[in-house]
Each structure stands twice: as structure tokens, then as C-alpha cells.
Amino acid sequence: MDVASLIMNLSQIYQYMIIAYVLLSWLPGLRDSFIGELLSKLVEPYLAPFRRFIPSIGGVIDISPIVALFALRFVAYGLIAVLDMFL
């Protein structure tokens, strides 16, 4: 397994974690479960800066996870491009 595929796989796993965390927010009881708390500890530090700068729509719909997913994808591709230049 080369470095590029490792970066993409880790990025994709983290994207799935973000999606799962967002889906858990729709069911408040699940967020208090072990999995919900674990995902919160892993995902919330990444989402917090996006939530600071991107306001929710109508105070209800939080679009910061969508922007965070795009940013994660761009960072992964950028990191792969930089590593390809040097390796």
C-alpha cells in the first residue's frame, strides 16, 4: 500500500465518522451512547473551527459539516500532491 492510498483511506474513514456523527445528531438519545460520545471526542475538535465561522441557517440547519467534508477532501488531495512532488 502506497502513501497516497493510505492518506485517501484515512480521509475516507474520517469522512464516514463525520457523517455518522451528523446522523447521530438527529437522534439525541444515540448521541449519549458510547459510540456517540466516542465520535464526539474524535470529530468535534475538527468541526469546532468550522462552526465558529459558518453560522447555521435559520439557527436550525448546521452546514458546517458539509464544508468540513469538502475541506478534508481538499487537504487529502493537496497532501497527496505535495508528497508526489517529493517522492
Instruction: Give the residue extent of every domain in the chain.
Output: 3-86
Query: In what helix (H) or strand (E) does residue 13 lie, and over which residues does it extend?
Result: helix 3-25
Indicate yes or no: pTM above 0.85: yes
The pLDDT score that the predictor gives to residue 75 is 97
Q: Is the pLDDT of residue 81 over 90?
A: yes
Q: Greatest CA span in the chain, whole angstroms? A: 47
The pLDDT score that the predictor gives to residue 69 is 97
At residue 82 the predicted structure's pLDDT band, cuts being 50, 70 and 90, is: very high
The 10s digit of each residue's pLDDT in 7-43 is 999 999 999 999 999 999 888 788 889 999 999 999 9
- DSSP character for 57? B
